[in-house]
Structure 1
Amino acid sequence: MTITTMTATTDEDCLAETLAFNAQFEAAAATRPARSATLDAATLARLRANRLGGDTPPERLPQAQERTVADGVGLRAFVPEHVDGVYLHIHGGGWAFGSADGQDGRLWNLARRTRLAVLSVDYRLAPEHPFPAGPDDCETAARWLVDHAETEFGTRRLMIGGESAGAHLSVLTLLRLRDRHGVTGAFRAANLVYGPYDLSMTPSQRLFGSRPLLSNTEALRGSYELFTPGLDAEQRRDPGVSPLFADLTGLPPARIVAGTEDPLLDDSRFLAACWQATGSDVHLGVVAGAMHGFTLFPLTITEREHQRERDFLTGA
């Protein structure tokens, strides 16, 4: 049992770059629509089209393969020439935004450099499809992979992970596999990047305030209302909604990452402590100066964390 806390930005120039980017992001906040539970159709469409928070959609790569598995769940697959394992990726976006094709460049690069087939789940989004639709689709994709990885990719070496809402859905998927299907040990690693694990709100979420970074207290409340309409804070503490309150026994070694300027910082710290308490290995990375979603942007800390992600997945 180990828990390692890493601070990625010990270099003063690197930290200065990160903080300067945060300031630029805040200054541009007036041009970005706010996320709330009452988004109109046009605003929702804009947020979904510009999936990385910019002005244009990310590029779709021709290397991607589209697959449809049980119940019509889509997978966007990047398969390198030599496959040593499979990484099931679950994208972020507050359960209401993002898509499986939103990070083609990064996922194809990850596949090539790790010799992993990378499969991104195209799960249904709120508010059209609120909880439990998204978790159901991720569970379906994971079950398919457990049953078909060897015949499809020649390996049973499986990993799972994602960013933000995708990290949350990754943990729920592991818990559902264990509790609903008796499947433990199929996935040998969980890569969990700045996820929300307590939808009733940890202290860092509640106290973060209105600072206009990629996420803040108001944005989180809006996301939770979109994802779990009709549930109050107490109901969102259900372990099937908020994995911080679940029994994490039997889950694989995990890499858990968050930045110091992220309202979800406590979520990662608390989840790492709970993960450690079960006896499973945990590597907790706390990145100085980093805001929520920092790995989506061209920063020095982004490349450092991507390298640590690759090292973690190849070593699993």
Structure 2
Amino acid sequence: MADTEHYVRDDVRGFLAMLEQLGRPGVEELPVAEGRQGMAVLGQMAEADPKELAVVRDLTCPGPAGDIPLRLYDRRDSRDAGPVILFFHGGGFVIGDLDIYHSLCTEIAWQMDLPLVSVDYRLAPEAPFPAAPDDCEAAARWVASNPAPLERPCTGLIPMGDSAGGNLTIVTTNQLCARPAEVPVLFQVPIYPVADDVTRHRSFHDFAEGFLLTRKAMAWFTEQYAGDPEDARHTPMIADCANTPPTVLCTAGLDPLRDSGRNYAAHLIQQGTDVVYLEFAGTIHGFATLRKALPSAQDDLDALIAAMKLMAGRHKR
């Protein structure tokens, strides 16, 4: 039998070999500003081109420490009342932003044919934990309140995000379950999320080096974020998740964070939550924003969005 646990796709193997030849320093070896620039440069090199949409508009909403920048995406100029996707970007709570995730957000908004609001939450180390979850919750409640600047009546929320944004997706969903917003969470979509203590999982050690996201980088992100492991806004699986909404969750087979996502999916299934779980074998953390360099990642994203459409059909609002 083939070793599916360590299977590497051809395009992934080629991309990793190219990165090794470039000799890029790890994010933990750079000043924060250079790490942020490095993620932007990688995106320019490796991410697919954005979709053309009728609406791409920058907005702000009130937050606990001032206005939170947002970006609204919609393939339609106007729209009747319906669900809104809330997107929380990745980057270890330190190095992501709206522009790096622009192409991915256009793809999701286009394929789902729903409005999407991308949230530019405060980043560590300038704004350590709990700034990020506080901003994400504030943005979610603002969208749920049907504000006039959105020009799209919201009947339900779909929190979604990758990596650190996957963590923030789960945390925000939990917060809105504990204290509901003006409209419900229809379902959530964590993409290769941090859901618990990743260091205790086998995948964290099996893929610690050579698969883009490294153990050293994760330790650096954790240090910058300065979170409290005993706080459910940092480690969402310690929260009371008995009423977790339906969930679409995906992991990458070669990701140090893989087993954290597996563990969370299993936990939700065991408690009776409606879950679609997808694990994409042979690919790496971050594939959703590497679709030019990794052509197979577009197929993975298409499968994830198909699962979202399936879940949206089950839980209409």
Q: TM-score, normalised by structure 1?
A: 0.82
- Pairing 1:289-308 to 2, within 5 Å after superposition: 289-298=282-291, 299-308=294-303
Change beyond 3 A, Cα 1:207–1:184: farther
- Look up the match of 1:218: 216
Q: Is residue 2:306 matched to residue 1:311? A: yes
Indicate conservation of the 8 Å contact 2:253/2:282, yes or no. Answer: yes
Distance 2:46 2:262 in 1: 33
% identity of equivalent residues = 26
1:177-198 CA deviation, whole Å, 9 max, x = no partner? Answer: 233x244971111111111112
- Look up the match of 2:114: 116
Distance 1:121 1:141 in 2: 7
Indicate conservation of the 8 Å contact 2:50/2:107, yes or no. Answer: no
Indicate conservation of the 8 Å contact 1:216/1:263, yes or no. Answer: yes
1:37-75 CA deviation, whole Å, 9 max, x = no partner? Answer: x7425533533543627499x879884201111120111
Indicate conservation of the 8 Å contact 2:46/2:290, yes or no. Answer: no
Q: TM-score, normalised by structure 2?
A: 0.82
- Look up the match of 2:315: none
- Look up the match of 2:272: 279
Which structure 1 segments of 5+ residues have no match?
1-8
- Find the partner of 1:197 among 195, 198, 202: 195
Secondary structure of 1:239 counterpart: coil
Change beyond 3 A, Cα 1:205–1:178: same
2:68 alignment partner AA: V
Distance 1:55 1:314 in 2: 27
Which structure 2 segments of 5+ residues have no match?
313-317
2:69 alignment partner AA: G
- Look up the match of 1:245: 238
1:114-171 CA deviation, whole Å, 9 max, x = no partner? Answer: 2100110011111111101111110110011111179731341321111111100011
- Pairing 1:94-243 to 2, within 5 Å after superposition: 94-148=92-146, 152-179=151-178, 181-183=179-181, 186-199=184-197, 201-204=199-202, 206-208=204-206, 210-228=208-226, 235-243=228-236
- Look up the match of 1:4: none
Change beyond 3 A, Cα 1:87–1:283: same
Distance 1:254 1:25 in 2: 35
Paired positions, count? 296
